[in-house]
Amino acid sequence: MGTEIERRFLVENGTWREQTTCSTVLLQGYLSVGPATVRVRMADNEAWLTIKGPTRGLSRAEFEYPIPAADAHQMLYSLCSGNLIEKTRHLVPHHGDIWEVDEFHGLNQGLVLAELEMDNEAHVFVRPAWLGNEVTTDPRYTNSSLALNPRPGSSDAVESGKMQ
């Protein structure tokens, strides 16, 4: 069984951009949002079906399978609930960790979240200066929630005018 262990944060400013090593445009939608979440995701001509269980602490079961891009496209535009999530994922190394900074587009335009996937819940990391409030346990900031209830420009940084 696969396990996802991650922490999520709002992003306070744009200084992370200077350290970005890779960026990928993602489109994703949800076939089911609970208790198990089933997601379809596309990046260029690659696609995946991902099943995630309920979160316990910082962890949850995760299973991900490659699927044909044509199938993913059809699922995204005919089977998904809510709105599609459009975002650019930037990989940002910081003190030995790789942060995934998601810059949302479309209905969630202006929202920027950072995620750190970890090997265990006790993982200690050096906090980047651009991190804002932690939202790991805030259900409003899960991608499946953002598909159903968009939060455009809703990060603390955007609300307080700190985004660069």
Q: What are the residue numbers of the active site?
A: 30
Could you tell me the pLDDT band of residue 163, with boundaries at 50, 70 and 90? very low
Report pLDDT for 57.
Answer: 87
Report pLDDT for 154.
Answer: 58
Could you tell me which residues come within 8 angstroms of residue 84 by beta carbon, excluding any fewer than 6 positions away? 27, 28, 29, 76, 106, 147
pLDDT tens-digit series, residues 114-144: 999 999 999 999 999 999 999 999 999 999 9
Q: Which helix (H) or strand (E) holds 94?
A: strand 81-94
